[in-house]
Structure 1
């Protein structure tokens, strides 16, 4: 029998909540119910709102728990509570949508009520959805690598590089096997420029650790190396937010850490059961992130230097339109040289 509906006061807003006892993370038993997830999000909602305020957010929903159907929701339903706000975003196709805009803890609670396990924010703030205020670095382990390699590259290679460039990065666990690092930047550049800056940064990490890191978009070329997913800085590519739960059996959480904490971190230590107490017992390592509005001019200078070396743009995801200066979007093993011109355009048969 479904549990009775509740009305929860969330900072002065009444949020309707249902099915508290529904299993969401079955391996956790009573500690893995929808109610446990909802209570977790209430516990971290204030910190999440500070980081997500005015950001458009997509929802990764599992209405019947993580073993049920997954819904990746980009649009807020037409019928929604009056306390929610929305923000219009434009996708690579040119189509638009009214996405959830985070303005109040009630929005986090509503997302949990809707079965959202993970919140995926854009790297922009409304109403200016054309100019990112974050550059995001995704250290994504490939087969044969894992979190240990990701944290080592983050701490031993990426952090010293950021220090040399005078940039401040804020690390967090991905909630899986990877590491995310966010740089808060000034809103002087569009998605194309920020993405190219991210590529330049990734290439420099790759140069410093070529046996451990790759920027190759094609899986057949990556080997047992970390992939820096530079396309996470493209339009409509989103990360799990800080403090978001993830679809894992133990309900891990994407958790902000200090660089020193990251050095010895284990992502399985940060779950919906442990994170509220963990963050209550120490200063917020991301507390100063809103004080940063960093320039990416040095990174754009690195873009120019790469171009002088013959290193131009890299492929976009397959759902994107062909972009100016983009190389051929075809796997290297399937590319026949005589079928392509010097500009990377396919020659008609």
Structure 2
């Protein structure tokens, strides 16, 4: 027998949702239909975060307890209005990734079992020059959201001293992400260097709280500022993205005032639509101004232009230190 389905009208598109009653989050009983309807309900905000960005998909066709498909390439067989953008990976290979141009694209992908949307930090018109600097404030064992929040406020203060506006959101876990719109004038290496410079300045100001140490054995109970999230083909969950965890948390945009006493557990697939209906997108101004990273690049040079390790799947990069954890390094 054919699969049951419903049809949802999303703007001027009709999206077919197959098996709408399939449970995707068994712990809280959220169905596939609720997932699709969630992305439609926050569509304006999610579209702002994803518009024209090559995007990877974390798909769970059988729900979060099933197998994950991390999809970087969109299939050739798809509606002609679902756009793609060509990206180049560190290996030199290319792929046609999803490029979100309308809310219906989100609904279409959610019907395919997409829970998380992970955009690149570039736009489809120029995939070699990022227009976003990302600060991933990542708690380590022994730390949590309270410490991540403190570090995020240090990031905010440094950015403000530079005349730069950062926008904070929960990661959907225990961390905080801060996004800065930047002028698309620098390549991935330069933007990553700017991220390293910013992370080092945070570490300098709150050394008891934050670290740039790539090797886990060196981090201790401190918040890791993952500068490598600015490298090519590294992605973070988008604003308003549901996370593939049992309680369906959301990577929720916040104002800095809200972050002061926010609890990330308050933002999930069932609470965020009502919040969005009441407040709208609290990051609505994120595209109003793009900033220069020249001051951060000057700081990178000031600090000796010393690079830090790349992730292990990257080719050896010019100027990169040894990619060997300290306890295993030999003289």
Shorter-chain TM-score range: over 0.9
How far apart are the structure 1 equivalents of 2:135 and 2:192? 10
Query: How many angstroms does 1:255 deviate by?
Result: 0.5
Structure 1, residues 276-312: CA drift from partner, whole Å, max 9, x if none? 11122225321111111100000001001001xxx60
Question: Between Structure 1 and Structure 2, how many residues are aligned?
Answer: 331
1:347 corresponds to: none
Which residue of structure 1 aligns with residue 223 of structure 2? 226
Change (3 A) 1:283 1:69: closer
* Stretches of structure 1 lacking an aligned partner (at least 5 in a row): 338-349
Structure 2 CA distance for aligned equivalents of residues 198 and 82 of structure 1: 37
The alpha carbon displacement at 1:6 in A equals 1.9
SS of the equivalent of 2:27 reads helix
Structure with max Cα Rg: 1
RMSD: 1.2
- Distance, in Å, in 2 between the alignment partners of 1:51 and 1:320 is 26
Q: How does 1:36-51 map to 2 (within 5 A)?
A: 36-51=34-49
- The match for 1:77 is 75
Q: Please name the residue that 2:21 is paired with.
A: 21
Q: What does the per-residue CA deviation read over 1:155-191, in whole Å, with 9 as the maximum and x for residues that have no partner?
A: 2x22111111111000000000100000000001000
Deviation at 1:249, TM superposition (A): 1.6
In the alignment, the residues of structure 2 paired with residue 16 and residue 284 of structure 1 have an alpha-carbon distance, to the nearest angstrom, of 27
Deviations 1:24-75 (A, max 9, x none): 111112xx11111111111011221122111110000111111110110000
Q: What's the CA shift for 1:325?
A: 0.3
Q: Distance in 1 between matches of 2:103 and 2:12?
A: 10
Q: Distance in 1 between matches of 2:150 and 2:198?
A: 17
User: Deviation of residue 2 (structure 1)?
Assistant: 8.7
Other-structure match for 1:57: 55
Other-structure match for 2:111: 113
* Structure 2 length-normalised TM: 0.98
For residues 300 and 247 of structure 2, the distance between their equivalents in structure 1, rounded to whole angstroms, comes to: 41
Partner residue of 1:237 out of 222, 231, 234: 234
Deviation per CA, 1:220-273: give whole Å up to 9, x if none: 101111000000000000000000000222111001000010010111100110
CA contact (8 A) 1:3 1:20 kept: no
Q: Which runs of 5+ in 2 are unaligned?
A: none
Q: Structure 1: which 4+ aligned runs deviate by more than 3 Å?
A: none
Among candidates 147, 152, 162, match of residue 145 of structure 2: 147
> Is 1:190 equivalent to 2:187 in the alignment?
yes
Is 1:286 aligned to 2:280, yes or no?
no
What does the per-residue CA deviation read over 1:113-152, in whole Å, with 9 as the maximum and x for residues that have no partner?
A: 0101100000000121000000000000000111111012
